[in-house]
Amino acid sequence: MHQSICIDPLPTNCCAGGFCPGSRERDFYNLAVFFYGCNFDCIFCQNSSHKRIDSAPRIDEENFVNKAIENEKIFCICYFGGSPEPHLPFALKVSEKILESKSMRICWEWNGCGNEKLVRKAAELSFKSNGVVKFDLKAFDKNLSLALSGVTNERAYSNFRMIAEKFFDKREEPVLTATTLLVPEYIDKGEIENIAEFIAELNPEIPYSLLVFHPSFYMSDMPITPRKQVDECYQAARKYLKKVNVGNIHLL
Ligand code: SF4
Ligand code: SF4
């Protein structure tokens, strides 16, 4: 499987760090699993190194499981990338094997447009293990999503709804969080208001992070998100949701 693996000390720069007690653990580690490849093709991709699949390191199931189990200090696994959806059959299998031997939080950081059955299984693993499913909810408007990411992303919103309805109010610690990248001029307060309203209809306690954009990939000639846009988007999200924060604030 094409992936690179790092063992990072907690707290990491996890996008759910502000809401997850795991991020406040000391003397423990996060196994960060970067999958190459993605089912989106965003022109603002903030992790475009995932496209270099030919040069990606590989690891098989057995070695992966051993790596996670052998280190007693590993507290959580975060699958990200690229995006983990194309790799879910592998990731689900190894996660189930790991949990048979050891308690560990299983987390996903993704665009959310995976096969519904596999996404449900992934969320069940997070729910049982005290992990978190972190959706990067991109444009709400279908045409905007098509323009920015090359796909419409209704599946992300229907998967988010499915996980919120099935799991969110059944655990004290949040099992589900969302982020949105504030692409300058494109993801504006109107877009954020629509996304926040959608989340709030499911549960206004779901944590939501707005991420400041930095220029990258085909949008490397764009500015960092203007502060005015950040402030307007924050106010728009707070109209609906109780737990909103701004990530990458050091870029402003
Ligand atoms: S448990 Fe999950 S959400 Fe919490 S710090 Fe680790 S990877 Fe992030
Ligand atoms: S979903 Fe994320 S990793 Fe995939 S292309 Fe878009 S920004 Fe890049």
Return the domain boundaries, the chain.
3-183
The order of strands in the sheet holding 74-81 is: 3-9, 29-35, 74-81, 105-110, 133-136, 176-182, 208-212, 244-247
Task: Determine the Cα–Cα distance for residues 51 and 114; give it in Å rounded to an integer.
Answer: 18
Position 111 pLDDT exceeds 90: yes
- Between residues 41 and 16, the one the model is more confident about: 41
Ligand nearest to the CA of 14: 1
Q: What is the pLDDT of residue 101?
A: 94
The mean pLDDT value of the chain amounts to 94
- Among protein residues, the one with the nearest Cα to ligand 2's atom 8 is 45
Q: Which residue type is seen at 152?
A: T
In which band, very low, low, confident or very high, does the pLDDT at 5 lie, cut at 50, 70 and 90?
Answer: confident
Pocket test of ligand 2: the residue of 83, 113, 153 to mutate, having most ligand atoms within 8 Å of its CB, is: 83
Q: What is the pLDDT of residue 1?
A: 62
Cβ 22 under 6 angstroms from ligand 1 = yes
Q: What is the pLDDT of residues 174-187, one digit of tens each?
A: 999 999 999 999 99
CATH number for the domain formed by residue range(s) 3-183: 3.20.20.70
Position 83 pLDDT exceeds 80: yes
Q: What is the pLDDT of residue 125?
A: 98
Pocket test of ligand 1: the residue of 27, 107, 134 to mutate, having most ligand atoms within 8 Å of its CB, is: 107
| CB-CB neighbours of 201 under 10 Å | 11
Task: Determine the Cα–Cα distance for residues 65 and 85; give it in Å rounded to an integer.
Answer: 19
Task: Determine the Cα–Cα distance for residues 163 and 88; give it in Å rounded to an integer.
Answer: 16
